Amino acid sequence: MAETIFFIVFALGALGFSAAVLIAKNPINSAVMLVCSFFCLAGIYVMLSATFMAVIQILVYAGAIMVLFIFVLMLLNIRDDEIEAPRLSIHQGIAILAGTGIFFTIALSIAAWSGSSSRVAHDTMSDTFGTVEPIGDQLITSYVLPFEMAAILLLVGIVGAVVVAKKRF
Amino acid sequence: MLTDILLILLKIVAVVLLFAMPIGSLMTLLGDRKQSSMIQNRVGPNRARLSIIPGLGRLPLVGIPHFLADGLKMIFKEDAIPDGADRTWHNIVPAMALFPAIVMWAVIPFHDHYCTGEIVVQNYRDICVEGQTRNFFSIANLDAGLLYVFAISGVSVYGAAIAGWASNAKYSLIGGLRSSAQMISYEVSMALSVAGAILIYGTLNLNEMVVQQGHLIGGWLPMWGIVVQPLAFFIFLGAMMAETKRAPFDMPEGESEIVAGYFTEFSSMKFAVIQLSEYVATVFVGALIATIFLGGWQVPYLYGDGFHFGNTPTAALELPYWAVIALRIGAFSFKTIFILWLQFMLRWTLPRFRYDQVMNLGWKIFLPLSLANLVITAFVVAIL
C-alpha cells in the first residue's frame, strides 16, 4: 500500500518534472526541474532496494553535473526576452526521431521482458542486494575492463579540457 | 508497520527539533555574537530581558533572550522582493537552502543499535547475544551513509546559487557564482580526504565506522580517526568549513566586498531561514567530524557493559545499559559542540582569505595533500 503510494508520487514526479524541463522557457528553470526529476528517479531506485545507485544518482548528476550546468547558465545570464521563439530545425527533427525511436525500443523490450519467465522474484533477492560491497566487488572482478575504460575516458576528458583551456593563455 | 513509521517520525522530530535546530539557532547568538564579543573584548548582547517569566526579569542570561527577540523581530519585518527578481524562485530558495542542511542529519548515529538481549564485549566490540539489535538512535542506518552525506552536501549548492540568480542584483549574482565555484572546488578534497578513513575502517556506514573506532591500539590508544588519519582531519575540517561558507572562507558572503553576497536581497523570515540553514550546516559539520574523526558516540574504554581497561572480557567497572547509552549520547553531543566551538574560534580569530587564495588553497594545497594522504594510507592498509 505505502509502496504503491510512494511509487505513484515518484513516477508522476519524474514524468511531470521531465515534461517541465522541455516546456520551461527559462534555461535555469529547466535545469532545476531536471534536478527534481533526478530526485524522483533516486526515490524509485530506493524503492527497488538499490540505495547505492540512488545515492550515486544524486551525487553525480544532481550534485556535480547539474551544478556545473547551472554555473554556466548563471554566467551567461540569459534574460527571458533574449530567448528567441522556437523554430523547428533539422536538428530538432533528428532529435524527435531519435527520442521516439529509443522510447519504442525500451517500451518493446520491457513488454517482452515482463512476459518472460526469467524475472527474478523479489524474495530470492539477497540481503546485500544494492549495497556498496557487492557492487564494488563486481566492479573490480567481473567488470574490471569496462570500469577501467570509463576511468580512462574521464582522464581523456580532463586532459582534453586542459588542452582546450591552455590555448587561450 | 505503523509503529515503524511512528518511530521514524519520532526520531526525525527528536534529531531535527531537539538537537540540530536548537543548537543551530542558539549558535547564532552564543557563537556568533557572544563568543565573538568575548574574542574582540566587547560585552556583546546583554540588554534583552525575559521579563514575562517572573524572577528572570533582571538577569541577562548570557544574552539568550536576544535570540528570542531576534526571531520575533524577523517575523514582523517586511518581506521585500526586488523589482525584476524571479518571484517564484525568490520565494522557494530559502526552503532549498534549508532542505539539505536538515536532510543530511538522517545518517548521523547518536548511539549504537539498541540491544534487546545481553551484551558481551569481545575484541573491543559490543556483541548482542540472545536478542535483536534495533535501530533507535539514527534516523536511517544507510549502507552508503557517507556517500549520502556527500550527495546531499553537493545538492546544497543550489540554494546559494539560485538565491544569487533569482535576486536580479549584481552583488547577489557574484555571491551565487562564488559560492558554487567554492563548493565545487572543496567537495573534491573533502571526499578525497575521508577516503583514507574509509580504507582503514573498510565501510561507508557511519555507525559501523564509529563501532570500529572503539578498538584500542596497543590496548590503550583509541583508534579514532584523528589518531590514524591526523592530516585528513585538518583537511576535512578546512574543506567542510569552506563548504558551509564560514569565515575565513566566506567569499560568497564577503561583507566587505559584496554586502551579503547571495542573500543580500532577502529580508524577513526568508533571510532568517537562509541564515539558519547555514548554522544548522555548521552544527552538522561538528556532528560529522565527531563521527568520523573523534569516535562518534564512543567514550574511551567504555563498552556496552561498563569500562574495560585493555582487551578483557569482564568489565573493570560495571554500568547499567541505560547509563552507558546516556554517557555515549552525552559524549557525542559534547564532541559536536566542541567542534562547533572550534569553528567559531577559527572564524573570529583568523583573517579572511582573498578569493584567489581560497581557490589556491583548495586546488593546490588541500587536493595534493589529500591525494598523498590517500596513497600513503592505501599502501599502509595493503601492507598491514
- pLDDT tens profile A40-79: 999 998 888 888 888 888 888 888 888 888 888 887 776 6
Cβ of B144 and A52 within 8 Å? yes
Q: Which three cell numbers stand for residue A28?
A: 535555469
pLDDT at A149: 93
Beta strands in chain B (DSSP E): 114-115, 118-122, 125-129, 133-134, 216-217, 221-222, 302-303, 306-307, 317-318
The answer to whether residues B187 and B364 touch, using CB atoms and an 8 Å cutoff, is no
Indicate the average pLDDT of chain B.
Answer: 83
**Cell of residue A73, nine digits:** 547558465
CB contact under 8 A, B162 and A70: yes
Show residues of chain A in contact with B148, CB under 8 Å. Answer: 55
pLDDT tens for each residue of B83-125: 877 788 888 888 888 888 888 888 888 888 887 777 777 777 7
Average pLDDT in chain A: 83
Query: Quick check: A122 pLDDT over 60?
Result: no
Check residues B31 and B299 and name the one with the higher pLDDT: B299
CATH code, A1-79 = 1.20.120.1200
What is the per-residue pLDDT for A86?
64
CB contact under 8 A, A55 and B155: no
Interface pTM, i.e. ipTM: 0.79
pLDDT tens-digit readout, B336-350? 888 888 888 888 888
Residue spans of the domains in chain A: they are: 1-79, 125-169
- Cβ distance A63 to B154 less than 8 Å, yes or no, reads yes
Output the pLDDT for position A118: 56
Instruction: Kindly compute the dihedral angle of the four CA atoms of residues B288, B293, B299, B302, in this order, to the nearest 10 degrees.
Output: 120
User: What DSSP string runs through B205-248?
Assistant: -HHHHHHHTT-EETTTEE--HHHH-HHHHHHHHHHHHHHTT-TT
Residues from chain B that touch A62, judged by Cβ atoms under 8 A, are 151, 154-155
Q: What is the mean pLDDT of residues A160-165?
A: 87
pLDDT at B1 over 80: no
> From the candidates B157, B177, B188, B363, which should be mutated to test the interface with A, based on the most A CB atoms within 10 A?
B157
> In chain B, what residues touch A67 (CB-CB under 8 Å)?
154, 157-158, 161, 180, 183-184
A chain contacts of residue B155, beta-carbon cutoff 8 Å: 35, 58, 62-63
> Distance between CA A44 and CA A49 in Å, rounded?
9
Instruction: Please determine, for residue A126, whether its predicted confidence score (pLDDT) is greater than 80.
Output: no
Residue A152, pLDDT > 90, answer yes
Least confidently predicted of A134-138, B56-60, B151-155, B373-377 = B56-60
And the C-alpha cell for B371? 591525494
Domain boundary assignment for chain B: 2-27+88-383
Nearest CA-CA partner of A128 in A52, A75, A44, A36:
A52
Least confident segment among A12-21, A124-133, B17-26, B189-198: A124-133
Verify whether the Cβ–Cβ distance B176 to A75 is below 8 Å. no
d(CA B367, CA B193): 8
- Residue B151: which of A28, A63, A74 has the nearest Cβ? A63
Q: What mean pLDDT is predicted for residues B259-273?
A: 82
Say if A31 is an interface residue toward chain B (CB within 8 Å): no
